[in-house]
Amino acid sequence: MADKTITHNNKNIFVYKNVFNRRECLNIYNDIVNASYVRTNIDCFLLNNIDRDVKWYSPVQPNTPIHQTINEKYYNTIKEIDWSTVQYDGQYVNYNTSNSVDMIHTDRSSNEEGYFTILHYANHTWDVNWHGLTTWYSDDLKEIVYAFVPDPGSVVVFDSRLQHSSTAPSTIAGHPRFTIATKVHHRLA
């Protein structure tokens, strides 16, 4: 079961602490730090193409060691998802630096129920003074529902319809902020 559950308008956020131990965090970090990343153009029109890193990501390919390692942990840890009815919609690594910009967004529209985002904090170490929080907002964007400080080895599962964003790591951060995002949904019978 989750270490913490936050509910807003019948949409849940489940927080799992220490899903991955220190050795697993180091192994995953070593895999993702050497991955190839590409820049997307998401949100570029809002930034007027100023010199900012909008989004950098690297797809996690099926049947690779990292895919198998993290997904096995998800199956064994996240009990709020019925894994027998789940279909994967994608998995990728987010790479954020102090120049990164992440606009407030949802991963699914408000009428698409049964979709979840699994966000794995994949750094091997993180200092609270490096910032890089993930923040979830009310539907009208007037309130912060929950904010999570990156915690190595932790996983947050949330309803993909929730408004959220990440803040850029501080310039004093020892390294980029890495998260592995997994998108899943329940298949209809």
Contact status, residue 96 vs residue 177, Cβ threshold 8 Å: yes
- Residue 171 tokens, joined: 């310039």
- Rounded Cα gap, residues 150 and 143, in angstroms: 20
Backbone torsion region of residue 182, taken as left when φ is above 0, otherwise alpha when ψ lies between -120 and 50, otherwise beta: beta
- Residue 42 tokens read as 């998401």
How far is it, in rounded angstroms, from Cα 168 to Cα 130? Answer: 9
Considering the entire predicted model, what is its pTM?
A: 0.91
Would you state the pLDDT for residue 159?
97
Amino acid 49: pLDDT: 52
CA dist., res. 118 & res. 66, Å (int): 15
- Quickly list H helices, the chain: 22-33, 44-47, 65-77
pLDDT of amino acid 101: 79
Token couple for 82: 């019925």
pLDDT tens-place values along the chain, 189 residues long: 999 999 999 999 999 999 999 999 999 999 999 999 887 755 555 555 555 556 788 999 988 888 989 999 999 999 999 999 999 999 999 999 888 878 889 999 989 999 999 999 999 999 999 999 999 999 999 999 999 999 999 999 999 999 999 999 999 999 999 999 999 998 765
